[in-house]
Amino acid sequence: METLKQLITNSIFPLAAFVVSLILTRICIAVLPHLGYMDIPKGRHIHKKPVPRAGGIGFILAFWISISLYAAKLCGGDFSKLTDQKVGQFLIALAGASFILLLTGLYDDRFDMPSLLKLMLHISAGAVLFFLGGGIRTFTLLNHTFTLPLWAALPLTVIWTIGIVNAFNLIDGLDGLAAGLASISSIVIAAWILLNGGNMPMVILLLTFCGACLGFLVYNFSPARIFMGDTGSMFLGLFFAMTSMDQCSRPAVTVAALLVPLVAIGVPIFDVILAVWRRTVRRFGVHMLKENLDNAEVVTELEHGINSTGKVEIRTAIENGSGVMSADQDHLHHRLLRESHNKTSRAVLLMYAISIVFSLGAIGLTFIGRSMPALVFLLVIIGIFFVLRLANIELLASMSVLAQGVRRPRKTLLLTIAHPILDFLLVTASFFLVYVLIRKPPPPPNGLYLYLVLSAPYILVLLFSGIYRTYWLRAGIERYFRLLKLLAIAAVISFILLNICAWKNWVIVDDSKRMTMIIFLLNTSFSVAAIMSERFLLHFFEAFALRSYYLKNSPEASRHNTIIYGGGLGCRMYINNLYSSRHLSCPFRILGIVDEDPSLQNLNVYGFRVLGTSGDLDALYKDKPFDSIVLTTVNIADRHVENIRAFAREHNIRVTMFLAQEYPADLDFFKVLQEKAISPFVENEPDKQDKGAPGRGS
């Protein structure tokens, strides 16, 4: 009740920040164009007409005016007493660093400051922030607080400041995006501090900052009448860099205390991580293109991987290079803008929703994690899959480069050597994951003995079995079955050793043999699942995922819908052939399978639904038009062949046949087949086959 009363009493300051920001932003719209602060649309810009920029000066001044009034109230008008309070130290450090960034932003928005000079000023701001009392100075581990030496604390502070400042600078690409995300983040962090009984001055500080951002957002939301420019985005980044470091340096900091502030500003941070990942992979891809310009197949595959959205000019990248600092239009807001058909407001609202969901999820996890760790683990897994969905461009580029780097066995020595190390890491991670779930770590040295008993048998059995001499990108089902048997043997050895050690009282957890057995069962399940899944994921990413990510990032107009006729073994071989790195750049999208067998109707075969028989082609075409039919079986009745040919002639559809049969090794016959072979067509490639002659090649 007392907290609510204080909130209501001090709500005048956030409201004042909102009103003052509203007034000052309106003044900026009228004044800034006369001072030359205009953003002229060009290059990667999305807006179509000139808009005033450097409008961040409005909400920055509104924030400082309002928070100064609150500071005066706190110290009773004597500002010399302000340093005695935590919020006062925060404001002093923020003021010194923000003054440097304010001058930097105003100059950059008017004259475009060189990037190296801007970086030096960012470093200066981080250093000033540190020496005025801010930054990362302590950290807590296992309930022990450690003070960092100057040589570690200062670089960490500067690096973190630069990272968050540039994160908000990069995210400021759509109308209302940066200001809206900043408002959401400040509210979330304020709520988190309140829920944990934090100090009220910090809550009012965050809400006042939110009020200033919302006042600017009124004029900045789509269609924007003013942009904040680097002046505003750098101040946002600086504020949240300080807020997150302030939470980190608290004496009783926990993982949860770090999680919520970081997730609250997680969208800009995640966008920066993706940008560095994407541009680094593309740089490797460009180097690989240079080395393989004489190999058309490799060039085509790499182009469609690193140029997944059609925004990177490959020729220009090869000639001029492609670095981490190279600008692109694949930021999160650009992707959502494309998916929302260039509707800016919809894309921005989606970004708001992502930020809110993840922030609330982080707060929820910190509470339920104390009583339901298994649920936390499940939610984290769901979050990882969601993150992978957002990182589809980076995954496609990475898998394209990886597929070319390891596609031949002679180039996979590193991959083969890495497997024992990877298995060791997976087994170790499984062991620690068990203790994250049960929250009962055994005291030393029992913990070490238990780790060796549970983990060592897996590594030793696999090492001495010869299973690592397997090229897992082309492993057969026999190798997987053999791997499973070896893991079962390792589990039995681990069980025997565990019982021997338990008999000697070396590894009993909390004097409970039952708990020790539970740990064994969980560890065995996690270890076996992790090792088997890692091999499976190699196949998944090299084949199905690689092509799937390519199709997701291909324009709708470039995709060629196809129907497979025949759901037998030939169908499976055709899908395996199509879903491989060899045909990465082929924009075929399989709609489904047609088969005459009544027992297969409406069932799923090899991952695709059986849609009907050859007599249903007209209805299927009306529901979803397609461009080609691929026959994958030779066991076709003449009447069905005639039905397919007649349908194809009527709708100008290409009909081809995929053969998976044995033939005599006659050289002339082989030459004829090579000459008649049909390659899957790609975007803008002339179709060498006559669509009007559907029987050709079948």
The answer to whether residues 256 and 351 belong to one domain is no
Do 411 and 340 lie in one domain? The reply is yes
Residue with tokens 């680094």: 280
Domain membership of residue 298 (yes or no) is: yes
Q: What six digits make up the tokens of 400?
A: 């394209």
Q: Which residues contact 100 (CB under 8 A, 6 or more apart)?
A: 121, 124, 125, 128
Domain check: are 376 and 427 in the same one? yes
The predicted structure's pLDDT at residue 123:
95
| pTM metric for this prediction | 0.68
Contact 643, 617 (CB under 8 A): yes
Any domain includes 693: no
Same domain? 489 vs 603:
no
CATH number, domain with residue 575? 3.40.50.720
d(CA 323, CA 113): 20
| 241 and 327 inside one domain | no
Q: Are strands 588-594 and 51-52 parallel, antiparallel or unpaired?
A: unpaired
**How far apart are alpha carbons 106 and 37 in whole angstroms?**
9
Q: What's the number of domains the chain is made of?
A: 3
Q: Which long-range contacts (CB under 8 A, 24 or more apart) does 325-331 make?
A: 325/115, 325/279, 326/279, 327/44, 328/275, 328/278, 328/279, 329/44, 330/274, 330/275, 330/278, 330/393, 331/170, 331/171, 331/173, 331/271, 331/274, 331/275
Let me know: does 245 contact 160? Beta carbons within 8 Å: yes
Please report whether residue 684 resides in a domain.
no
Using left for φ > 0, alpha for ψ between -120 and 50, and beta otherwise, residue 147 falls in beta
Measured from the Cβ of residue 476, the count of other Cβ atoms closer than 10 Å reads 9
Rounded distance, CA 206 to CA 213, Å? 11
What is the predicted pLDDT for the residue at 421?
A: 87
User: 122-145, pLDDT tens digit by residue?
Assistant: 999 999 999 998 888 876 654 566
pLDDT score of 260: 73
- Residue in the block written with tokens 């043999």: 513
Alpha-carbon gap, residue 175 to 173, rounded angstroms: 7
Q: Is residue 58 part of a domain?
A: yes
Residue 684: the pLDDT is: 42
Q: Would you say residue 654 lies in a domain? A: yes
Distances in whole angstroms, Cα of residue 73 to Cα of each of 78, 91, 208: 9, 14, 14
Token representation of residue 207: 């809400």
- Using only the alpha carbons of the chain, give its radius of gyration: 31
Per-residue pLDDT at 424:
92
Q: 373-391 burial, b for 16+ CB within 10 Å, e for fewer? A: eeebeebeeebeeeeeebb
Which of 487, 514, 549 terminates a domain? The answer is: 549
What is the token pair recorded at 360? 């609330």
One domain for residues 545 and 563: no
| 193, HSE (Cβ side, Cα atoms, 13 Å) | 26
Looking at the structure, do residues 444 and 567 belong to the same domain, yes or no?
no
172 close to 237: Cβ distance less than 8 angstroms? no
Do 543 and 563 belong to one domain?
Answer: no
> Is 632:566 a contact under the CB 8 Å cutoff?
yes
110 three-state secondary structure: helix
C-alpha closest to that of 190 among 409, 359, 375, 61: 359
Q: Containing H/E element for 605?
A: strand 604-605
pLDDT digits (tens, 9 = 90+) for 13-41: 999 999 999 999 999 999 999 999 998 87
| pLDDT averaged per 10 residues in sequence order, the chain, 698 residues | 80 95 96 91 71 94 94 79 79 94 94 90 94 81 69 91 91 90 92 81 94 95 91 94 78 57 84 85 72 65 62 58 65 81 84 88 70 61 73 74 57 62 91 75 67 90 87 80 93 89 66 75 92 83 67 64 90 80 65 91 90 91 90 87 90 86 71 67 42 38
Provide the token pair at 185. Answer: 């983040």
For 440, the 3-state DSSP assignment is coil
Using CA atoms of 78, 81, 82, 85 in order, give the dihedral in degrees to the nearest 10.
-140
Domain contains 70: yes
Which tens digit of pLDDT belongs to each residue from 434-466? 877 776 655 656 677 788 888 999 999 998 998
Residues in the chain: 698
Angle at alpha carbon of residue 48, lines to 43 and 51, rounded to 5°: 95
Q: In terms of domains, do 523 and 573 share one? A: no
| CA neighbor of 401 nearest in space, from 320, 491, 306, 500 | 306
Exposed/middle/buried for residue 636 (C-beta within 10 Å: 0-12, 13-18, 19+): middle
According to DSSP, the β-strands at 604-605 and 608-612 are antiparallel
Which residues, other chains included, contact 539 with Cβ-Cβ below 8 Å and sequence gap of 6+?
472, 473, 475
Q: Is 510 left (phi over 0), alpha (psi -120 to 50) or beta?
A: left
* Same domain membership, residue 255 and residue 356: no
Question: For residue 506, what are the contacts with CB-CB under 8 A and spacing of at least 6?
Answer: 446, 449
Helix (H) / strand (E) containing 138: strand 138-141
Please, are residues 162 and 179 in contact by the beta-carbon 8 Å criterion? no
Q: Report d(CA 401, CA 298) in Å as an integer.
A: 10
CB 676 within 8 A of CB 697: yes
pLDDT confidence of residue 387: 76
Instruction: Determine the 3-state secondary structure of 512 from DSSP.
Output: strand
Asked if residue 427 and residue 279 are part of one domain, the reply reads yes
Identify the bridge partners of residue 509 per DSSP, sorted by sequence position.
Answer: 512
Return the H-helix or E-strand segment holding 589: strand 588-594
Say how far apart CA 79 and CA 77 lie, in whole Å: 6
Helix (H/G/I), strand (E/B), else coil: 565 = strand
Tell the burial category of 183 from Cβ atoms under 10 Å away from its Cβ (0-12, 13-18, 19+): buried
Q: What is the pLDDT of residues 327-376, one digit of tens each?
A: 677 788 888 887 777 788 888 998 999 889 888 877 777 776 555 555 66
* ω into 223 cis (within 30 of 0): yes
CA distance 17 to 207: 9
Looking at residue 411, what is its pLDDT?
A: 46
What gap in Å lies between CA 253 and CA 258, rounded to an integer?
Answer: 7
Cα distance between residue 168 and residue 182, in whole Å: 9
Rounded distance between C-alpha atoms, residue 328 and residue 420, angstroms = 38
H-run or E-run covering 139: strand 138-141
Query: 302 with 401: CB under 8 angstroms?
Result: yes
Does residue 617 sit in helix, strand or coil?
helix
Which residue range is the domain that position 353 belongs to? 275-549
The residue among 30, 397, 20 whose CA lies nearest residue 225 is: 30
Domain edge (last residue) among 264, 283, 301:
264
363 located within any domain: yes
Q: Hunting for tokens 């409406």 — which residue is that?
A: 602
Residue where a domain stops, chosen among 264, 287, 309: 264
Q: Which ranges of 150-199 does DSSP label H, i.e. alpha helix?
A: 150-171, 177-195
487 token code pair: 């893991």
For residue 693, with 0-12 CB atoms within 10 Å meaning exposed, 13-18 middle and 19 or more buried, which class applies? middle
User: Do 318 and 405 lie in a common domain?
Assistant: yes
Residue type, 664: P
- Establish if 696 belongs to a structural domain: no
